[in-house]
Copies of this chain bind each other. A is one copy, B any other.
Amino acid sequence: MNIKNIKKEFPIFKQKINGKPLVYLDSANSSQKPKTVIDKISQFYENEFSNVGRSVHTLAVKAANRFEATRDKVQKYLNAKHREEIIFTKGATEAINLVASSFGKKYINEGDEILITELEHHSNYIPWHYLRSEKGATIKFAPVNENGDVEIEDIKKLITSKTKIIAITHISNVTGAILPITKIVDLAKEKNIPVLIDGTQGAPHSHIDMQKIGCDFYAISCHKMYGPNGLGVLYMKKKWVDDLPPYQGGGGMINEVKKDDVTFAETNTKFEAGSMQTAEVVSFSESLNFIEKLGIKKIASHENEILEYGLEKLRKNNSINIIGDPKERGSVLCFTLKDIHPHDIATILDDDGVAIRAGHHCCQILHEKLGLPATARASIGVYNDKEDIDKLSEAIKNCQKIFQN
């Protein structure tokens, strides 16, 4: 496989949008899927489908083996110490809700502080907001600076003896800022504060190694990693897997069930209640195969090249205001256009086959700070090339023409 003609691996690029080739610049929202991943889903349903972990017949055994083999694969990919540290969820959103709920139940009390940043996606704020309302905890927001970065010094200042958890994004889905997560984890470790990292934007674009990062929790959405939708991965350090109470209740997560009491499975399965998304899990191993064949570092450097090209190109257009100028930027390019609302931009670009996203990108607090109700966002995936950027740039010009009339 070669990144240069990688579009061929993705069936979606066969079609035309409004008669034009698809220029997909919405991967931060969700990535497209390579054929191997799509085929795996159908092959699995056609030849091997069964519910996992419940029956002992051949199909069930095959399904369970594939399912658990994917857990092993994810463990290796993330360089987690134990396979039990890999928990499958519905998505990053559920992963963070799980942690907030289970950790919160046991460790958050009135007056305790939860430290997040102004960059956070609603998925990494609302679950903590619930604890604030229910437990009387406080949420502190590390500020985002003019460049769209969060400074470690500002996080340091906000840590107090009451800080019970730090929850931060790996890469901002708006400013594209890559946060110094390893340093933040080191800082937190000194004070014995666990750290959750919202890796939704980090995982698809960077080499992630749980031993190097050292965080306690890392949340991933598989659908942004060239994988199926409806599936997430929560990495949870073993000490928490053993320690935290379960989340949803149902089949498969119990030890003993009696009328007056219930005891729970001791390991990761306590967090996986009910029938799982077996086909999604099984096919996600193909997403990891895809990423590993190309190499995540090659993917990242390819994306970076396209991103730099895009920044350069768009900066030449005086009407374009690029949001943020972080020290390190990860595959997200938010912008506004003088006198044209982002929704109008998105609709007009779509007419040229260019798919971007407009809105607050589930970051209302950040947009309030930016003084912008909405921005337009072009985000890069492995399949994008410079031509896509050229088309984006042309489409923006068309958009300006329409509004200049």
| Chain A interface residues (CB < 8 Å from chain B) | 11-12, 14-15, 17-18, 22, 24, 26, 29-30, 32-33, 35, 37-39, 41-42, 45-47, 49-51, 54-60, 90-94, 96-97, 100, 121-123, 125-127, 129-130, 139, 141, 221, 223, 228-231, 248-254, 256-259, 262, 273-280, 343, 346-347, 349-350, 354-359, 362, 364-365, 368
Contact = CB atoms under 8 A, between A and B. Distances in A.
A126 B356 contact: no
Contacts of A251: 93, 121-123, 362
For the residues of A in contact with B, the DSSP-based class is mixed
Contact of A122 (B90, B122, B249): B249
A346 B57 contact: yes
A97 to B, nearest CB: 4
B47 A129 contact: no
B254 A126 contact: yes
A391 B11 CA distance: 43
A29 B56 CA distance: 12
A64 B39 CA distance: 23
A334 to B, nearest CB: 14
A225 B37 CA distance: 24
Nearest to A254: B122
Nearest to A362: B251
Closest 7 CB pairs of A and B: A93-B274, A126-B249, A230-B277, A93-B250, A123-B250, A11-B46, A57-B355
A291 B9 CA distance: 34
A357 B55 contact: yes
A279 B355 contact: no
A204 B387 CA distance: 50
Given A22-B59, A96-B250, 4 more contacts: A38-B46, A39-B42, A56-B358, A94-B248
Contacts of A357: 54-57
A262 B22 CA distance: 37
A35 to B, nearest CB: 8
A17 B80 CA distance: 36
Contacts of A129: 249, 262
A250 B97 CA distance: 8
Nearest to A139: B259
Contact of A279 (B139, B229, B248, B259): B229
A230 B32 contact: no
A97 B249 contact: yes
A348 to B, nearest CB: 10
A57 B350 contact: yes
A365 B259 contact: yes
Contact of A257 (B49, B359, B365): B365
A204 to B, nearest CB: 13
A117 to B, nearest CB: 11
Contacts of A57: 17, 26, 346, 349-350, 354-357
A274 B47 contact: no
Contacts of A51: 26, 29-30, 223, 229
Contacts of A358: 55-56
B17 A58 contact: yes
20 contacts: A12-B45, A12-B47, A14-B46, A15-B47, A22-B59, A29-B55, A30-B49, A30-B51, A30-B275, A56-B347, A58-B350, A93-B273, A94-B248, A96-B250, A123-B251, A123-B273, A125-B262, A126-B257, A229-B278, A277-B277
